[in-house]
Structure 1
């Protein structure tokens, strides 16, 4: 009996050590990577293949209008979204009815806030980007639980941003450290990678307790490390983040929108998260 008891305890310990994700009781939709998983093979823990006829609202919410450059033209209107051939299409369009909404153009976007978030792991998004003057498609991440306070204290991870007709994407981190303290080179907080925007590419990151490795089509492009001996705000990336994917238009960075070049679309094939 005693030998059986010891064997059972050993098995439980082994199962616990192999567990991919933990879920806090208060936030069961949050995937906290198991201890020492970063040294083991990735396992798929969450995905969306967009094979259904409508957006899976257990995983995503349409992004509503806000006051920042990135969301001031966001709309939940059906005209900004489509599901076709196993793909999600996010659109930037000329506003078809200015009597209901005075904004000249509208954009579609989704986020997993309150439905899925994860701490450490790998995310990959296969997508094809549309180009137009003023087009600003983005895939990025924000903190789910606001551990350190209001933005930008919790940080931001920009998996991919594309401007206009560029042949590059931007992959960046933002935080109180980089924005308010101006520490953008200690360490370098962003990089670029060459793409053909009109083709499908896989955009992603591998996120560890001590670094964020940005990737394109499975190849490492830029690494943002955790640095010792600097202000602690340099690394707010020790908490769960949720995903945002949106077809933005206009703003101080991307420039004025040429409405004659609309509509513009970002086509999402799938999203996969590993831990």
Structure 2
């Protein structure tokens, strides 16, 4: 009986629809045809007769127009993005002048479309700070939910975080924001994990996100989420992969995400986030992001940070991601990409009344059989040696440095493995700070020292600890420092012998570079044995982890 009722109802609906289709006032979508006369205007920011490829910012605005088009899309680098009005801004990031192919699609009625591919040649002069790249790729980022003012909104172009609203700590718990993780991979891909709590024991890409009403529909998720005012909470969505880049249009450091890529709260727009107030020398790993929504209604603010809540962040140990190393596996002079030299006698014996002259001669410094060898020699009534440094080639803030070395011997020898603040030329020593990973003097053959020099504690007043080890000149040992915002610790072969509490008031929160040398005599090296001829520090490797 029920099936018969459904059958009659179905027949009635068919008759009604047929009758409606015959009415004179029928609503029609019009003729179905593909768009035509597709034209694309290209505006390279800063381009003129003298700068045909732009001002170096890499910013290009595309404007598409076509007859009978109802919307537009752009395809670049494998990513298709909607641009309903026909306008699309790209921020190209590859340093240099390159030609890019961009496909523009005009969408018409009935699913018909017309496309064209245009070429644009763009100059990019900007290179992102290596500190920022290292930070972004160091660990997954998240919204810093435990902080007051981690999410907010204000007027377009406003200068105050969350001028209209700034969320208190954990204010948006349970809406699909705090369990998201944003991974900036070193190969330029961007991975958005929409729920980091459901991947144990097996990976589950499903989750929910948080966004603005209407705009969040651009995601085309499988559900609608829950509306709360103008917010859409727990909108169903899955993990996805896009790309990221850093540009600086108008001199403002900007993080760009491709496709629908977003952080924290979906607002549409251009998917670019200004790093508000970013300073490469900042001690904090937190980043403040600002972006204008797709309605051009508000600027939205986000505070993101690496690491998990209540746990170690990317600047706290353990440091296990190797970011730099020299294994000394090529015979000859040290790798010029890693090392340069201090040469000569230095002012006042390199500040310590030292007796050696530093050279880059192979008799003083050479790589042989997988080892860097720095040799101090008695020559012509004096002494020669060598001092290598990574200044201008490699520096870093926080991490773990591991050096496997065998030390020289003999009264007056003073080998050191150490680091100096990269800003020492501008602010001077000891203001820049100094971290001595290993110091040894032949006049105290059985003792190895580590020291920290900073204002009020420098020279003979440095914070120093020593440890007894009787075979440092006969056997290789691993000398290590673990350096974080909260602590600096020193060890030999994994045994910590010196720990120092770091804080934001000290100079140990900025970039440092590496130094390897063997000095002779001086304030710490002491009296040189009259019978000294030569002795060598051998280094198997230098490795840096973050």
Global fold match (TM > 0.5): yes
1:269 aligns with 2:540: yes
Q: Name 2:490's counterpart in structure 1.
A: 214
Identify which range, 105-114 or 77-86, moves more after superposition: 77-86
Q: 2:514 aligns with which of 218, 243, 248?
A: 243
Q: Kindly state the Cα deviation for residue 166 of structure 1 after the two structures are TM-superposed.
A: 1.7
Q: Larger Cα Rg: Structure 1 or Structure 2?
A: 2
Partner SS for 2:427: coil
Question: Alpha-carbon deviation of 1:85?
Answer: 1.1
Question: Quick one: distance in 1 between partners of 2:239 and 2:377?
Answer: 63
Query: In 2, Cα distance between the equivalents of 1:264 and 1:183?
Result: 29
Tell me: CA distance 1:8–1:153, structure 2 relative to 1, closer, same or farther (3 Å): same
Corresponding residue for 1:78?
362
Distance 1:108 1:81 in 2: 6
SS at 2:456 equivalent = helix
Asked if residue 60 in structure 1 is aligned to residue 339 in structure 2, the reply is yes
State how far apart, in whole Å, the 2-side matches of 1:259 and 1:46 are.
40
Partner SS for 1:238 = coil
Q: How many angstroms does 1:179 deviate by? A: 3.0
TM-superposed CA distance for 1:201, in Å, is 0.4
Deviation readout 1:183-213 (Å, 9 max, x if unpaired): 76xxxx2211222212100001000011111
Q: For 2:503 and 2:510, locate their aligned partners in 1 and report how far apart those are by CA, in whole Å.
A: 17
**TM-score if structure 1 supplies the norm length?**
0.79
SS in 1 for 2:531: helix
**Closer/same/farther in 2, CA of residues 10 and 105 from structure 1, 3 Å limit:** same
> Which consecutive aligned stretches of 4+ in structure 1 deviate over 6 angstroms post-superposition?
9-14
Match of 1:135 in 2: 413
- SS of the residue corresponding to residue 252 of structure 1 reads helix
Matched, 1:108 2:382: no
Shift of 1:168: 1.0
Query: Residue 501 of structure 2 corresponds to which residue in structure 1?
Result: 225
Shift of 1:146: 3.7
Q: 1:71 to 1:227 in 2, by over 3 A?
A: farther
Cα distance in 1 for partners of 2:441, 2:465 equals: 14
**d(CA) in 1 for partners of 2:461, 2:378:** 39
Partner in structure 1 of residue 176 of structure 2: none
Cα separation, 1, equivalents of 2:483 and 2:431: 18
How much has 1:177 moved relative to structure 2? 2.4
Q: Note closer, same or farther for the CA distance 1:121–1:227 as it changes in structure 2 (3 Å cut).
A: closer
* Distance in 2 (alpha carbons) for counterparts of 1:179 and 1:191: 14
Secondary structure of the residue that 1:178 maps to in structure 2?
A: coil
The 5-angstrom pairing of residues 134-173 of structure 1 reads 134-146=412-424, 149-164=427-442, 165-173=444-452
1:121–1:39 distance in 2 versus 1, CA, 3 Å: closer
Match of 2:70 in 1: none
1:112-170 Cα offsets, whole Å, 9 max, x none, are 01101110000010000111010000011001134971111111101011011521111
Partner of 1:2: 219
Asked whether the equivalents of residues 144 and 242 of structure 1 are also in contact (C-alpha less than 8 Å), the reply is yes
Is the Cα contact below 8 Å between 1:63 and 1:74 reproduced in 2?
Answer: yes
Residue 20 of structure 1 corresponds to none
Post-superposition offset of 1:252: 2.2
CA shift for structure 1 position 7: 4.3
Counterpart in the other structure of 2:105: none
Deviation, 1:220, is 1.4
Q: Gaps spanning 5+ residues in structure 2: where?
A: 1-217, 222-236, 245-256, 264-278, 286-304, 307-312
Secondary structure of the corresponding residue to residue 478 of structure 2: strand
- Give yes or no for contact 2:355–2:383 (8 Å, CA) kept in 1: no
Partner of 2:466: 192
CA change 1:41–1:268 in 2 (3 A) is closer
Q: Do structure 1's residue 94 and structure 2's residue 378 form an aligned pair?
A: yes
Unaligned runs of 5+ in 1: 17-25
Root-mean-square deviation (CA, aligned residues, Å) is 3.2
The 2-side partners of 1:84 and 1:259 are apart by: 29
Q: 1:118 aligns with which of 384, 396, 402?
A: 396
